[in-house]
Amino acid sequence: MSNIDISSDDLKVFLQEAETLIESLDEQIVRLEQDGASDDLIAEIFRVAHTLKGSSGMLGLEEMARLTHAMEDLFDRVRKGALTIDQDVTDVLLQCLDGISALKDAIASDNDPAVDVDGLVEAIHRYAEGDTSSAPRAQTTALVLGEAEHERIEAAAGDGRLPFRVSAALAPDSDWRAVRCFQLLNELGPLGEVVASAPTQADIEAEAVGTTFHAVVLLKRKGRGQVAPATVEAALKLIDDVQVVQVVPYIADAPVEAPAATPAPSSDAPSPDAPSEAKSAPSAVHQQPKVDSLQPSVRVDVDQLDALMNMVGELVIDRTRISQLSRILNEEFEGQEHVQALSETANHLEKMVDGLHARMMKVRMLPVGLLFSKFPRLVRDLSRSLDKGIRLEMSGEDTEIDRSVIEQIKDPLVHLIRNACDHGIEDRDARAAAGKPELSILHLSAKHEQGQIVISLEDDGAGIDAARVKAKAVERGLIPADQAERMGLKEAVDLIFEAGLSTAKETTAVSGRGVGMDIVRRDIEAVGGRIEVETRPGEGTVFRLRLPLTLATFRGLLVGCGATTYAIPLTYVQETLRPDESQVRFVSQRPVLHLRTRDTVMPMVRLDNVLQARGRAGTKAEDSPYVVVVRASESESDRPVAIAVDQLVGQQEVVVKSLGKFLGRSRGVSGASVMGDGQVVLIVDVPTLIKASRQSDLTAAAGTVLERIAS
């Protein structure tokens, strides 16, 4: 692909534009299948497709332009009413779109694409010309890695073995493609462990193969390293009909980013392979009116935005410092002309920096719909793969959140959606037996709530079997049997976030409910968020992600404990108080705080003791003058904790700074910040602190001691 006569900057702009157009087409094609062909939707599809075809044609990308032009021919028949959109037509359109995406990726990596454009164009023309009688159905030969495969990769990584992705393109006119794929698998055997392949062994035996072969391989050890990728390429190229071989490090992409495959020919013409992990029943996409912006816009590299945001953060720190110095000088030299001028300038600077900071935060904000738009295709593919009727409904797509947060929650959301489709929602027979409609509803929503963004994923499936979860936890030695008997529904359901706990009766290629949920929670908490789950047996399950609007700043409560100042995010703070002796009681020789106004008893711990920091010698929680009541969530089963401190400094906008990889991650501390006087404050990771501060016997006792205190 190196023969493109275009500058690197212009190529970057084209690739960004192409990515946006491809994502738009992907969403619109699924909408077309679900909602039917409306004039506005067809017009929008034509506009996007024509733009993509024109841009690629101008750069001399003939294959991309030809494939897009073929799709336009099919859309034209839909617009004229000569063709009705069904699952087969949608399959072919999505396959062609994945072929275009593969061509784009090949341009970006300067590699030859393993895409049979002729076969895809021929398949499109069959539908465009109305001849679908002999067009074979698409075959599912996309490379799919399930939970078991990912666990094998993670285990190998612990031994220093890294996974590689092997791709091979076969001659389109070969009559021995199944044999060649079998040879490729056999040749890879002595070189490493094949984790997954597309086509699979079963596909090869059924001769359901195309003209591409993909595999993820853990190469064998050789000396201090592994078998060289060049050795693998050389071995595979010796096989007849193998035209192109690529061996590159494997990177786990989103499920909808499956590698493009090419069609396997029939007696008349080739039919395209499924480019994604599966095909599905129709999925609903929340339709929103398209608004054409008349304002000009420019593209800015995200690295530039990050650098600019960092500079604005430094300005916020300096603004605080200047304001503090101005107040000190004004108190000492009150009435002097220069001091008064400095005070006015400091006030003006504070307003300007606040405005700049707010504008900068707005620039970093993106609608969460940019993330949601990737999921209709995912649900569509999963629905057909699992032979379930699943309808995805979305709301709140215009809710804005920081770009960096969107990037961090993508994988956890994908995992939750796959779990919901695979194990949360029953199969057709089970739903019929339960008197439920065959079409299941999966609802994804976003909204702002108390300075946070709340993303909810709700299904109408069977719910989580709390008894089965507890039984599995006992079986794996996570909790003793007597503790399991005392657990309520909420506590039992929370066990799914324990590492390695799965209630799935069988391992599937899609997911295993519970496997990986600890990773989901870890990733959510890594961005300062938390995950909650509610389940109703027989009715469904709701997962809620409570996330900060941004990772750059937050409003915090500054507290002093010992010689250290800490910042506690206000979203977790319920109240602050100075307790008297009558409010402090002891349970199992540990202090608890009794709030009469709320009729609540909660564990009481000293902040620096929980964080294992150096505090005042001999200071105990019950002897501390102030208490900050924090709570990780609003769930009734989530008890608050009283954090004892020495001083309440006040509220302040806190600029988040990373602790750095050399310091690692400290328990209960998520980062640091610099105050106006140069003092470093530590940011408290409240969910982790609460988890560390709670003792199971103390929590259980505090829950029952309330009645005794009240009486």
3-state DSSP of 633-649: CCCCCCCCEEEEECEEE
Q: Token digits for 330?
A: 């004004």
CATH number of the domain at 157, please.
3.30.70.1110
459 and 373 housed in the same domain: yes
Residue type, 546: R
- Does the pLDDT of residue 179 top 70, yes or no? yes
In a domain, 162, yes or no: yes
Instruction: List pLDDT tens digits, range 552-563.
Output: 778 889 998 888
Q: Look at the chain and count its residues.
A: 711
Residue type, 72: E
Residue type, 652: Q
- Does the pLDDT of residue 232 top 70, yes or no? yes
- Does the pLDDT of residue 40 top 50, yes or no? yes
Q: Give, in order, the Cα–Cα distances in Å from 70 to each of 74, 126, 201, 451.
A: 7, 10, 33, 48
Tokens 């990308």 sit on residue: 61
Determine the pLDDT at residue 266: 37
| pLDDT average, residue stretch 458-486 | 86
In a domain, 276, yes or no: no
Say how many domains are in the chain: 5
Beta-bridged to residue 643, according to DSSP, are: 605, 628
Which domain does 597 fall in, by range? 553-710
Question: Contact at 8 Å (CB) between 73 and 124?
Answer: yes
Determine the pLDDT at residue 663: 57
Instruction: List pLDDT tens digits, range 670-707.
Output: 778 877 667 888 888 887 787 776 643 343 333 333 33
Contacts of 173 (CB under 8 A, 6+ apart): none
Instruction: List pLDDT tens digits, range 496-551.
Output: 888 766 655 554 545 444 446 888 888 887 787 888 888 988 899 999 998 887 77
What percent of the chain clears pLDDT 70, i.e. is strictly above it? 79
Question: What angle separates helix 403-419 from helix 517-526, to the nearest 10 degrees?
Answer: 160
**HSE toward the beta carbon, residue 370, CA cutoff 13 A:** 15
Residue type, 258: A
Distance CA 478, CA 432 (A): 36
Determine the pLDDT at residue 492: 84
| pLDDT average, residue stretch 607-626 | 71
Number of H helices, E strands in the chain: 22, 28
Q: Would you call 511 exposed, middle or buried from its count of C-beta atoms within 10 A (0-12, 13-18, 19+)?
A: buried
- Does the pLDDT of residue 454 top 80, yes or no? yes
Sign for the CA dihedral angle at 658, 662, 663, 668 comes to: positive
In a domain, 591, yes or no: yes
Helix extents (H) in 110-259 = 117-128, 147-158, 177-188, 201-205, 229-237
Tokens 């698409």 sit on residue: 138
Tokens 């599966």 sit on residue: 278
pLDDT band at 634 (very low <50, low <70, confident <90, very high): low
559 and 624 housed in the same domain: yes
pLDDT band at 311 (very low <50, low <70, confident <90, very high): confident
Determine the pLDDT at residue 133: 42
Distance CA 256, CA 16 (A): 18
Q: What is the average pLDDT value for the chain, to the nearest integer?
A: 77
542 and 657 housed in the same domain: no
In a domain, 479, yes or no: yes
Distance CA 205, CA 595 (A): 70
| pLDDT average, residue stretch 77-82 | 79
What percent of the chain clears pLDDT 90, i.e. is strictly above it? 6
Q: Token digits for 53?
A: 């075809």
**Which helix (DSSP H) or strand (DSSP E) does residue 139 occupy?**
strand 139-140
- Does the pLDDT of residue 456 top 90, yes or no? yes
Q: Are strands 680-684 and 564-569 parallel, antiparallel or unpaired?
A: parallel
Question: Contact at 8 Å (CB) between 409 and 371?
Answer: yes
**HSE toward the beta carbon, residue 440, CA cutoff 13 A:** 35
Distance CA 692, CA 440 (A): 39
3-state DSSP of 570-621: HHHEEEEECCCHHHEEEECCEEEEEECCCCEEEEEEEHHHHCCCCCCCCCCH
Domain final position from 364, 386, 412: 364
**Which helix (DSSP H) or strand (DSSP E) does residue 518 occupy?**
helix 517-526
Domain final position from 364, 392, 413: 364
Distance CA 243, CA 530 (A): 49
Determine the distance from the C-alpha atom of residue 453 to the mean position of all C-alpha atoms in its chain, rounded to a whole number. 14
Question: Contact at 8 Å (CB) between 645 and 634?
Answer: no
181 and 249 housed in the same domain: yes
Question: What angle separates helix 39-58 from helix 62-79, to the nearest 10 degrees?
Answer: 160
Closest CA relative to residue 138, chosen from 184, 95, 199: 95
Structural Rg of the chain based on CA atoms:
29
- Does the pLDDT of residue 664 top 80, yes or no? no
137-141, 287-291, 452-456, 649-653: range with highest mean pLDDT: 452-456
In a domain, 453, yes or no: yes
Q: Token digits for 570?
A: 């206000």
Sign for the CA dihedral angle at 694, 700, 701, 702 comes to: positive
What is 660-680 written as a DSSP string? -TTT---TTEEEEEE-TTS-E
Instruction: List pLDDT tens digits, range 56-71.
Output: 887 778 888 888 888 8
492 and 585 housed in the same domain: no
534 and 616 housed in the same domain: no
Contacts of 3 (CB under 8 A, 6+ apart): 60
Determine the pLDDT at residue 627: 92
Distance CA 679, CA 578 (A): 26
| pLDDT average, residue stretch 220-249 | 81
422 and 511 housed in the same domain: yes
| pLDDT average, residue stretch 402-409 | 83
| pLDDT average, residue stretch 24-33 | 84
Contacts of 648 (CB under 8 A, 6+ apart): 557, 558, 559, 560, 576, 626, 628
Looking at residue 286, what DSSP letter applies?
-
pLDDT band at 42 (very low <50, low <70, confident <90, very high): confident
In a domain, 328, yes or no: yes
Distance CA 81, CA 76 (A): 9
Determine the pLDDT at residue 289: 37
Long-range contacts: 72-80, Cβ < 8 Å, 24+? 72/46, 73/124, 73/125, 73/128, 74/124, 74/127, 74/128, 75/42, 75/45, 75/46, 75/49, 76/128, 77/127, 77/128, 77/130, 78/32, 78/37, 78/42, 79/37, 79/42, 79/46
**This model's pTM is above 0.85:** no
Is the model more confident about 28 or about 502? 28
In a domain, 262, yes or no: no
431 and 452 housed in the same domain: yes
503 and 394 housed in the same domain: yes
Distance CA 114, CA 102 (A): 8
Domain final position from 321, 339, 364: 364
100 and 15 housed in the same domain: yes
326 and 228 housed in the same domain: no
637 and 701 housed in the same domain: yes
- Does the pLDDT of residue 260 top 70, yes or no? no
What dihedral angle (degrees, nearest 10) is formed by the CA atoms of 71, 72, 75, 79? -170
Determine the pLDDT at residue 445: 93
Q: Are strands 139-140 and 273-274 parallel, antiparallel or unpaired?
A: parallel
Q: Other CB atoms closer than 10 Å to residue 146's CB: what's the count?
A: 18
Tokens 């602190």 sit on residue: 689
Distance CA 65, CA 535 (A): 49
Question: Contact at 8 Å (CB) between 320 and 673?
Answer: no
CATH number of the domain at 490, please.
3.30.565.10
Q: Token digits for 624?
A: 């501390």
Residue type, 183: Q
| pLDDT average, residue stretch 104-124 | 76
Q: Are strands 626-630 and 600-606 parallel, antiparallel or unpaired?
A: unpaired
In a domain, 138, yes or no: no
| pLDDT average, residue stretch 120-138 | 60
Q: Token digits for 568?
A: 């506690």
Instruction: List pLDDT tens digits, range 270-310.
Output: 333 333 333 333 333 334 333 343 345 566 777 787 788 88
Instruction: List pLDDT tens digits, range 412-426.
Output: 898 899 888 988 899
